[in-house]
Structure 1
Amino acid sequence: MRLATWNVNSIRTRVTRTVEFAVREDVDVLAMQEIKCKPEQFPYGPFEEAGYHVEVHGLNQWNGVAIASRLPITDVQTSFAGMPGFAKGHEGPDAPLEARALGVLIDGVRVWSLYVPNGRALGDPHLAYKLHWLEALKTATAAELAANPEQALALVGDFNIIPFDKDNGDPDIVEGVSTHVSPEERQAFFAFADAGLTDVVRPLIPEGFTYWDYQRLKFPRNEGVRIDFILGSKTLADAVTAASIHRDERKGEQPSDHVPVLVDLDDSRLGTSAAEDDDDLPMIFS
């Protein structure tokens, strides 16, 4: 199975290059974020013509997630247990849920397409929401893997967190001033290791950016950041044979500000864990 994630930043604007990428790179499962449309507005036609089934979760012109798969999609979920909501001026447990998570089962692999809240600014209520959202996701994931330790599970998407200093090439993002690099956000990211997950791309690609702001020539200057990830359970991590970050997708006409991240999975290793012990796991903390 070839699995990719891509924050497309408006699928209706970029459907042609998105489908062309999926076909050209022989992608079996493509998780998309920030599709910016409702399900009835999604451009299904080009995907279906290319042989993909599509599931979409979108509520308005903001946020939104989708998954396209050549294989049948089952067990569709549009939220995880304990997922908090958010609305400006609305506090409390009954805040409306945003379209930021879509979980499916594909050939035995649980895939979540995730668009983690941005946080906006230090001290902003949206940052507290972001941290609460991540904690709930970690808890829900830990519970699922505790119930089924052999489950091949992938949390993929735009995490809006820069885990390490080497992942930050943007001089405008500064610890103590900016979100994405605060100790609290980084701790929330690293906490997914406690849920049994590891960054399955970093062992194969230790350095590289996945996002460059449109402003101030950030891409030509390579002032990017790494915020798009594929986190996998032990079974999924053991099945990874290759990974790639497709930097060239930031070039050309009307590119997204993000680029795709892709992994190849050995199907024969997805059913059982091949690692002998925990020392064989790729580490998230390096």
Structure 2
Amino acid sequence: MRVATWNVNSIKQRAGHLADWAKQAQPDVVLLQELKCTEDNFPRMEVQAAGYAAAVVGQKSYNGVAILSRDTIEVTATALPGDANDAQARYIEARTCGVRVGSIYLPNGNPADGPKYAYKLAWMDRLRAHADALLRSEETTVLGGDYNCAPTDDDVYDPARFADDALCRPETRNRFRALQYLGYTEAWRALHDDRHVYSYWDYGAAFRNDDGLRIDHLLLSPQAADRLKTCEIDTTPRGWDKASDHTPVVCELDV
């Protein structure tokens, strides 16, 4: 089975791209981020026409996450536990296709010395606590999404320029590593030792110049990691007209 994650940067603008890409890539499960729409404005008809059921947590103009699946979806969480006052639509979790999946849109955190960065770090601490609890279920689990973290200097085109950026600060990277120390495997890095391969490029000339960051990740529980066959970053959609600034990351698991 194929599980993908993609920050679409507005589902209403990229619904056609999503349908075209899904037809080509044939993922079984797609984890979407940055929908930028409420649930009632999510393009369900287009998604259903492409062969997918959808579970959505939306928010007007900002954030928003979804899980698409060729199978039925049993939603298990519509927010990250740990802060009942957090109203940002950044997490959804479900069982589908025999696995538990979570779609994550982790806060950006910039500027890195202000309240947005404090929120990011607190969100990552909550994610670690929840990810630890998920491991205890011993279910096959995939936590995928836009983590807004370049794990090492090998994952950013200009490490010196981004040294103080919230995506690359040591506090951010330490918390991302802490998720892996729990027992999660970062799927792409587990299978590749390439440096300077990216999943995000800003608009303008960044994609043409390959000035990117690798910030979209699939973290696998031991049960999922044991089934990992491939993981690739599909750069094709980033080259399309009116593309998202992110591109899909897809892993394949043995059934």
1:106 to 93, 96, 112: 96
- The percent identity for this pair of structures is 38
> Is the contact between residue 139 and residue 195 of structure 1 (CA under 8 Å) also seen in structure 2?
no
Matches within 5 A, 1:167-178: 167-170=155-158, 173-175=161-163, 177-178=164-165
Q: What is the CA-CA distance between 1:174 and the residue it aligns to?
A: 2.4
Could you list the per-position Cα deviations for residues 234-279 of structure 1 after superposition, in whole angstroms to 9, with x for gaps in the alignment? 0001111111101121112100000000011111xxxxxxxxxxxx
> Is the contact between residue 187 and residue 218 of structure 2 (CA under 8 Å) also seen in structure 1?
yes
Aligned-residue Cα RMSD (Å) equals 1.4
Range with greater deviation from structure 2 (117-126 or 257-266): 117-126
SS at 1:162 equivalent: coil
Is 1:239 the counterpart of 2:227? The answer is yes
The aligned residue for residue 79 of structure 1 is: 79
Aligned AA (1:209): Y
Query: Which structure has the greater CA radius of gyration?
Result: 1
Please, which runs of 5 or more residues in structure 2 have no aligned partner? none
Could you list the per-position Cα deviations for residues 56-106 of structure 1 after superposition, in whole angstroms to 9, with x for gaps in the alignment? 101211000011100110134111321x3xxxxxxxxx6442100010101
The aligned residue for residue 8 of structure 2 is: 8
Aligned AA (2:180): A
2:143 to 144, 155, 163: 155
Aligned AA (2:35): I
Please, which runs of 5 or more residues in structure 1 have no aligned partner? 85-93, 268-286
SS at 1:30 equivalent: strand
Q: Return the alpha-carbon distance in structure 1 between the equivalents of residues 11 and 52 of structure 2.
A: 15
The aligned residue for residue 212 of structure 1 is: 201
The aligned residue for residue 277 of structure 1 is: none
Total equivalences in the alignment: 253
Aligned AA (1:197): Y
2:182 to 195, 216, 229: 195
The aligned residue for residue 184 of structure 1 is: 171
SS at 1:114 equivalent: strand
> Is the contact between residue 36 and residue 64 of structure 1 (CA under 8 Å) also seen in structure 2?
yes
> Is the contact between residue 55 and residue 75 of structure 2 (CA under 8 Å) also seen in structure 1?
no
SS at 2:232 equivalent: strand
Range with greater deviation from structure 2 (199-208 or 47-56): 199-208
Aligned AA (2:198): F
SS at 2:101 equivalent: strand
The runs of 4+ residues in structure 1 deviating greater than 4 Å are none
Could you list the per-position Cα deviations for residues 92-129 of structure 1 after superposition, in whole angstroms to 9, with x for gaps in the alignment? xx644210001010133110000000001121111111
The aligned residue for residue 28 of structure 2 is: 28
Q: What is the CA-CA distance between 1:51 and the residue it aligns to?
A: 1.4
Q: What is the CA-CA distance between 1:161 and the residue it aligns to?
A: 0.6
SS at 1:47 equivalent: helix
